[in-house]
Structure 1
Amino acid sequence: MTLLHIAVLAPFLFALLVPFLFKYLRKIHTGWFVMLVPLVLFIYFVSYLSTTSNGGSVMERFEWVPSLGINFDLYLDGLSLLFALLITGIGTLIILYSIYYLSDKKERLNHFYVYILLFMGAMLGVVLSDNIIVLYVFWEITSISSALLISYWYTKDASVYGAQKSMYVTVFGGLTMLGGFSLLYVMTETFSIREMIAGSDIILNHELFLPAMILVLVGAFTKSAQFPFHIWLPDAMEAPTPVSAYLHSATMVKAGIYLVARMTPVFGGGAEWFWIITSFGIFTMLWGGLSALRQKDLKAILAFSTISQLGMIMSLLGAGSAAFYYMDGDNALYTTAILAAVFHLINHATFKGSLFMVAGIIDHETGTRDIRKLGGLMTIMPITATISIIGLAAMAGLPPFNGFLSKELFFTGITNVVQYDMWNGDTIGILLPVIAWVASIFTFTYSAIIFFRTFRGKFKPEKLPAEKVHEAPAGMLISPIVLALAVLLISIFPNILAYSIIEPAMMSILPGILSEGTNFHVDIYHWHGINLELMMTIVVVIIGTIIYMTMDKWSKLGIYQKDEDIITTIYDHGYDGLIKGSQWVTGIQMTGLLRDYIAYMVGALVLLMFYTMFRFDAFQFSMNNTSQIQPFMYLILAVLIISIILLPSVKSRMTGIILAGFGGFLVAFVFMVFRAPDLALTQLMVETVSVVMFMAVFYHLPNLTKEEIKPLTKAVNIIIATGAGLMVTLVSISAFTFGQIVPLETIAEYYLENSKILAGGYNVVNVILVDFRGLDTMLELLVLAIAAFGVISLIKLRLGESDDV
């Protein structure tokens, strides 16, 4: 295992130590120890900048399940390094912020830091994994750890609701993504992303291209909150602010962006990939911006703002994918969109991370995030206000901040679509820059709302829960100040990251199109002359200002008063419908009668088996090569059948137990006749113990009373019982006959021949359980372990001391 593997696993390993640090080192805030993990990892990943900036990459292999092609292979290039630096760099700042935001006396910090380390390690695994199955495993860990962080304050119903919604949406997307990965494996016979990129021509021309692409995109869209899967992100704001700033602005929501960027060389070049990503991204940008205008909570505004900004980045990746259609075309025409996507990805992490922290500071110091209660905080919290001005100006796309630079590139990249002479880009494509321009107006407007409604105007201390409002402590200000300085640094020196981070990331997204030796380099600058993009920005500022100045009129409209997303309403109604439907189905199934449960299970099994046998024409009947049956066996079988037929009519439990035991002993005798002593011995032991135990229990119960059973129920029972008997009989005869028609090696022969060779054991039954069915057995043990933990939890989490509990 290499250092790169250890870097991915380090957060998981350190998470094991957190409970002990929290318990035994209570005088020191646990966050100081945890912060060392992302800080060291950030320094470690910085050491790879020289490798990726020169066009190099690192592949580290570790065999996990080599027989299935599933290996813990890590691949580090410009794209994965960019995300690794964001995950660890901003992670360091977030943990520093949380040290002052979360009290070590009031909060369960051991849980918080365990969850955040799990998330950090999972995100590193997502962006560094070359094997798509390993990537999927880490992907789902991000969903689980994110839900745990969102529900950190689990006593609040809103926190639990937000965690559940994020789990439902993102896990659903993860499962569809796994389906897409499976189809990719069918097409390429590999789980390696590198090998898939090399075989992209096969994928593009395969009949499974479209379903695989759609399934993968659903996974990406759910994680990156693209319409209509965006609904989980606003409710995730119930998490503590450090979680919102880390997961929902800088890292987790960027996982879908990463997946689309990584899969662009695989699916790029197809009209479906181009239009789906670009269209959904642009509409998400518009929807998020419009929804943000209606919000009254600072974090809610920032949440919908994040949705809008993610849509913007996603649309740029879609627009830039056209470069794979014209491999030898004008690179600048297509690569500007990719440049804007990568650049804005970095810029968004800086200004949005700082803004979320500012929202947390305001909530922490004033006791509210409601903009209707805030105002006049500029003189009271000048440092916080300054950070906000920088972050909001960058988000609004105002010069000379970094957001202006990437927004101008966004306008260029999205207007270039009109020049595409394929896929109707020169006709329908005109809608894309128009929608992008309208969405940018909304971005400017809600940025103005945040600043002026929070920091300007009249101070309203009577509406604030806090007794005295003051500036945040220095420790809480360090992290947002660092991010605000990053905004300024990029604004003043726009090419500071061009050659070390942006260019290598672009080359990873467009391999073969952008590479060492091609006429390509990043050159970002403020002044491009008076052009279309600048005119669009000027009009954005003018119209956005007018909308803000007339907000009193707009706020009276019904659409403004409804701050809940219509898709959330649909989700809630659908969720309630699923619950009611499941309750209805459960009411039918869970009757409390063992007879009904057996009827459901046996009936389903009979239908499934009969369908399968008919579907594949598997029913065969031949009595050739059968052994002679001795006359006394007919007598034994007749007695067995009579005892079974008499069972339903007996009125005494003791008589029923005797008849059932008698039938069981006769079955054991049949096993002896057919030379199966091990089965006979097992049957005798089980039957003896069962009869004794039943007699000991049922002796004390009253006699059976005649139960009135409806004729329809009797008929259904007879049909199911008859069907089960026919199924077993016909399947047994067909299996016997099929073995004569097609001489195949039996499963028994395989185990007998290979138990010693492959597993080193002579006891075939034990070898099957431990080795051949090793994974199944391990999962059974896992289920038992989970059940044990559940029992322990129920014992520890007693609801009260009353006798009723």
Structure 2
Amino acid sequence: MTLIHLAILLPVAAAIAIGVLYRYYRKINIGWLALPVPLLIAIYLATLIPAVSGGEVIHETMPFMPRIGMNFDIYIDGLSLLFAILISGIGALVTLYSIGYLSQKEKLGSFYIYLLIFMTAMLGVVLIDNVLMLYLFWELTSISSFLLIAFWHKNDRSLYGAQKSMLITMFGGFLMLGGFIILYLITGTFSIRGMIEALPLIQENQLAPLAIVLILFGAFTKSAQFPFHIWLPDAMEAPTPVSAYLHSATMVKAGIYLVARFTPIFAFNSLWIWLILIVGLFTMTWAAFNSIKQNDLKAMLALSTVSQLGLIMSLLGLGALSVSTGADEQLFTAAIVAAVFHVFNHATFKGALFMVTGIVDHETGTRNMKKLGGLLTIMPISVTMTLITALSMAGIPPFNGFLSKELFLEAMISIGNAEFGGLSSMSFIVPALAIIGSIFTFIYSIRLIYDVFFGKRTYHLPKAPREGSAIMLVSPAILTFLVLVFGFFPNLLSGTIIDPAVMGIMDSSTSPETSISHWHGFDSPALWATVSIVIIGTLLFISRDRWMFIYNYHKERFTLDFAYDQLLLYSRFGSQKLTDNLMNGSIRSYLLYIFGTFVIFGCLSVISAGMSIDFNNLSPVSIGEIIMVLITIVTLAVILITKSRMVSIIMLGAVGFAVSMLFVFFRAPDLALAQLAIETIITALFLVCFFYLPRHSRHEERIRFKLTNFLVSLGVGVLTIFIGLAAYSERLFESISQFHIENVYDLTAGGNMVNVILVDFRGFDTLFETLVFGIAGIGIFTLMKLNLNRRGNKDEEHTEESRV
């Protein structure tokens, strides 16, 4: 195990240690013990920047389940290093912020355990080269995020949001696994690097489009793209540190990473480009439009996250043109540069905005924007950070968000030059959606600043407002500082972070040598697009009271959230009805389901395998065997038609005795003796048990003939006989009996072949059979003791009543 493997697993190890320590020392703030973990990982990953920016790729392998090809293989290039640094770096800031945000009365041990497990899951997603291990960590992010979102589990909305996020993201993850398996069937490898090397096989295979759709399901659900975006606003019910972490650098960015990582594999297909571009742009515009009407601060920021993720996704779709053939590589490489740069920028300003929102909520007691306002002089530090980060999100210079937004607009406007897959026909629609979405982004960003800190407050706040504590201000202050630094000096990231990440997406060894600047000249279409966005957005914000009525026509019953709730309701109702009908308490019904399924799938297997019986190889049947079989059939028929328990028990014993005689005919006297002993004991026990049962029971009722039961029973019997004879007729291997005959006495020095086989050659089978009997005996003994205890308690109650 290498140092990189240890870095991924370090948070889990720390989570275990914190869980043990917190159990005995609850007075300490456990967050101070969790803080060094992401900090150390971030520092270690930062030391890899010089090597990776120089073109080096770190590839470490470690067998995990080699027989199925599931290995713990690490692949670190510029792309994975960018995401890993964001995960660990912002993880450290979120942990520091949570120390001041969460009260000592909270279950801090559980919180930091969930947070650290989530950190390991995200690091695994972005650093793993094996798709099976990637899927393992992918679903671990869904489970750990469920625990984080449901941290305040006494709140119904928290549980609802956690369930919603897990159902949607795990549904997409399961489909994504199907895409991975298809790629394995095409390429014969689970390695992402191996799949890229086998690109010609993927290009020629007809299953590639299906793999694209399935993998994009996983990416779209995790990154909250339309129509799967509905889980992200409900995830805001999590504590604010969790929201800041989920929305800025971790879970929602997993889908972005997946698309970026698989772009070298699928960029040749126009379906990949079309789906990512159109879904991303529509998600950006739709989410930005809906975020304007939100009155809850975290709800607005959640939908703004959806919008920003759509922006990044559309850039990756357009940037895929630089990877495929038939496009201007220099032109559309800028789209990938913009995507990578905005991933970093969004992490900085969105993380800070969520943390400031948490401070406002923590110090005022509310997140309702209608009740807030006038906090400008009361919270000067918070308002300064909000101004910088919100304007960055709106794409206003000189902040870092403006730079990546300019690159975004340039890329969208230049789509008319794309001679690939008919994209040039979208030369009007794509830029129009980009500009409209940017206008809405500008409006909700300005509303966020104005409604919270400016204006006049008309409501009485639950708490007297004040500025947040120093420990809560440090983390958003650091992120705000990064917004300023990389806004004024963006090229600090170019050669160290952005260019290596772009090389990772393009799977190229040539650096694009990116140069980012604020000014592109008056002839830049993006400049005039930005001017238009600011002017139109300002006018719409000033006149918002005149047009906000349009949101009244967006009825709740016509939303995707309502459709999800109805689907869940009908699913629960249908599953409940199905369960009630199937699980009716009747053992006879359960046997019917089991044996009916056996008959159906058994017949399908027999037909598909082409099984047949060779009657020439069958042994001759003697008169004695025929008589025993007839006796067995007659006794079974008597059991079915008799109304007497005594007759049923005797006939059942007769069946066992007839089988014992068959063993005698087959020259197996030891089996015959064992069968005779067992049948005698069972018959005696049945007689004793039934003696104590009440006389009137369902057994005395008239048994009606049921055609379904008869057909299933007949099918089981015929199918079992057929499979047995077919297996005897078509032996794939030589019988092992000759081996036993030749070696049983020499190897084991035993005198009884059957005993030696059971004890020596099949000793483990016998041991586990004995263990099963032992477990069953313990279970029966426990049930008997419980029954006796209940009877004893009832007797004591009756005694007390009689005394009273």
TM-score normalised by L of structure 1 = 0.89
Partner of 1:154: 153
Alignment length (residue pairs): 757
Q: Secondary structure of 1:410's partner? A: helix
Q: Secondary structure of 1:642's partner? A: helix
The letter of the residue matching 2:347 is A
User: Cα–Cα, structure 1 residues 500 and 377, in superposed 2: closer, same or farther, change >3 Å?
Assistant: same
CA deviation string 1:126-183 (max 9, x = no partner): 1111111011111110110000111111111111111111111111111111111100
User: Once the 2 structures are TM-superposed, how far is the Cα of residue 705 of structure 1 from its aligned partner?
Assistant: 4.1
The letter of the residue matching 1:614 is I
Partner of 2:519: 527
User: Cα–Cα, structure 1 residues 87 and 709, in superposed 2: closer, same or farther, change >3 Å?
Assistant: farther
Distance 1:287 1:747 in 2: 69
User: Once the 2 structures are TM-superposed, how far is the Cα of residue 422 of structure 1 from its aligned partner?
Assistant: 1.9
CA deviation string 1:89-143 (max 9, x = no partner): 0000000011111112x11111111111110001111111111101111111011
Partner of 1:225: 224
CA deviation string 1:640-683 (max 9, x = no partner): 11222222233344543443344234435534543567876876
1:217-366 residue pairs with structure 2 within 5 A? 217-326=216-325, 330-366=328-364
Asked if the contact 2:628/2:659 (under 8 Å) is kept, the reply is no
Partner of 2:752: none
Q: Secondary structure of 2:386's partner? A: helix
Distance 2:98 2:621 in 1: 80
User: Cα–Cα, structure 1 residues 685 and 121, in superposed 2: closer, same or farther, change >3 Å?
Assistant: farther
Select the residue among 475, 486, 490 that pairs with 1:479. Answer: 475
User: Once the 2 structures are TM-superposed, how far is the Cα of residue 341 of structure 1 from its aligned partner?
Assistant: 0.3
User: Cα–Cα, structure 1 residues 649 and 339, in superposed 2: closer, same or farther, change >3 Å?
Assistant: same
Partner of 1:405: 403
User: Cα–Cα, structure 1 residues 402 and 563, in superposed 2: closer, same or farther, change >3 Å?
Assistant: farther
Partner of 2:624: 632
Does residue 457 of structure 2 align to residue 465 of structure 1?
no
User: Once the 2 structures are TM-superposed, how far is the Cα of residue 38 of structure 1 from its aligned partner?
Assistant: 0.3
Q: CA RMSD in A?
A: 2.8
Structure showing greater radius of gyration is 2
1:33-72 residue pairs with structure 2 within 5 A? 33-72=33-72
The letter of the residue matching 1:36 is P
Asked if the contact 1:231/1:565 (under 8 Å) is kept, the reply is no
Partner of 2:379: 381
Does residue 178 of structure 2 align to residue 179 of structure 1?
yes
Distance 2:208 2:77 in 1: 26
User: Once the 2 structures are TM-superposed, how far is the Cα of residue 430 of structure 1 from its aligned partner?
Assistant: 2.9
1:170-209 residue pairs with structure 2 within 5 A? 170-209=169-208
Asked if the contact 1:294/1:561 (under 8 Å) is kept, the reply is no
User: Once the 2 structures are TM-superposed, how far is the Cα of residue 564 of structure 1 from its aligned partner?
Assistant: 8.5
Asked if the contact 2:641/2:703 (under 8 Å) is kept, the reply is no
Distance 1:346 1:305 in 2: 16
Choose 578-587 or 77-86, whichever is displaced more: 578-587
Asked if the contact 1:375/1:453 (under 8 Å) is kept, the reply is yes
Does residue 595 of structure 2 align to residue 602 of structure 1?
yes
Choose 375-384 or 679-688, whichever is displaced more: 679-688
Identical counterparts, % of pairs: 46
Choose 191-200 or 673-682, whichever is displaced more: 673-682
Distance 1:67 1:699 in 2: 57
Partner of 1:736: 728
Choose 622-631 or 451-460, whichever is displaced more: 622-631
Asked if the contact 1:294/1:563 (under 8 Å) is kept, the reply is no
Q: Secondary structure of 1:407's partner? A: helix
User: Cα–Cα, structure 1 residues 652 and 155, in superposed 2: closer, same or farther, change >3 Å?
Assistant: farther
Q: Secondary structure of 2:64's partner? A: strand
Choose 556-565 or 575-584, whichever is displaced more: 556-565
Partner of 2:501: 505
User: Once the 2 structures are TM-superposed, how far is the Cα of residue 745 of structure 1 from its aligned partner?
Assistant: 2.1
Asked if the contact 2:247/2:350 (under 8 Å) is kept, the reply is no
User: Cα–Cα, structure 1 residues 693 and 225, in superposed 2: closer, same or farther, change >3 Å?
Assistant: farther
Does residue 622 of structure 2 align to residue 622 of structure 1?
no
1:535-546 residue pairs with structure 2 within 5 A? 535-546=528-539
Q: Secondary structure of 1:59's partner? A: strand
The letter of the residue matching 1:167 is M
User: Once the 2 structures are TM-superposed, how far is the Cα of residue 628 of structure 1 from its aligned partner?
Assistant: 2.2
Partner of 1:643: 635
Distance 1:352 1:449 in 2: 16
Asked if the contact 2:180/2:211 (under 8 Å) is kept, the reply is yes
User: Cα–Cα, structure 1 residues 439 and 86, in superposed 2: closer, same or farther, change >3 Å?
Assistant: same
User: Cα–Cα, structure 1 residues 156 and 134, in superposed 2: closer, same or farther, change >3 Å?
Assistant: same
Partner of 1:798: none
User: Once the 2 structures are TM-superposed, how far is the Cα of residue 193 of structure 1 from its aligned partner?
Assistant: 0.7
Does residue 130 of structure 2 align to residue 131 of structure 1?
yes
Distance 1:45 1:456 in 2: 41
Distance 1:187 1:133 in 2: 15
Asked if the contact 1:751/1:764 (under 8 Å) is kept, the reply is no
Select the residue among 569, 575, 584 that pairs with 2:562. Answer: 569
Distance 1:356 1:709 in 2: 72
Does residue 569 of structure 2 align to residue 591 of structure 1?
no
Distance 2:765 2:441 in 1: 62
CA deviation string 1:742-798 (max 9, x = no partner): xx2269699999xx9xxxx99554668999xxxxx9xxx9xx9xxxxxxxxxxxxxx
Partner of 1:4: 4
CA deviation string 1:385-438 (max 9, x = no partner): 111111100100001110000000001122222101121121134311111110
The letter of the residue matching 1:647 is I
The letter of the residue matching 1:35 is L
User: Once the 2 structures are TM-superposed, how far is the Cα of residue 216 of structure 1 from its aligned partner?
Assistant: 0.8
User: Once the 2 structures are TM-superposed, how far is the Cα of residue 331 of structure 1 from its aligned partner?
Assistant: 2.6
Partner of 1:368: 366
The letter of the residue matching 1:427 is S
Distance 1:405 1:749 in 2: 79
Partner of 1:612: 605
Asked if the contact 1:294/1:560 (under 8 Å) is kept, the reply is no
Distance 1:750 1:268 in 2: 60
The letter of the residue matching 1:86 is L
Select the residue among 549, 555, 574 that pairs with 1:581. Answer: 574
User: Once the 2 structures are TM-superposed, how far is the Cα of residue 482 of structure 1 from its aligned partner?
Assistant: 0.6
Distance 2:10 2:382 in 1: 34
The letter of the residue matching 2:691 is Y
CA deviation string 1:286-308 (max 9, x = no partner): 11111211211111111111011
The letter of the residue matching 1:438 is I
Distance 1:331 1:256 in 2: 24
Unaligned runs of 5+ in 2: 748-757, 779-796, 798-804
Distance 1:748 1:137 in 2: 41
The letter of the residue matching 2:397 is P
Asked if the contact 2:413/2:525 (under 8 Å) is kept, the reply is no
User: Cα–Cα, structure 1 residues 289 and 599, in superposed 2: closer, same or farther, change >3 Å?
Assistant: same
TM-score normalised by L of structure 2 = 0.89
1:760-771 residue pairs with structure 2 within 5 A? 763=760, 765=762
Partner of 2:415: 417
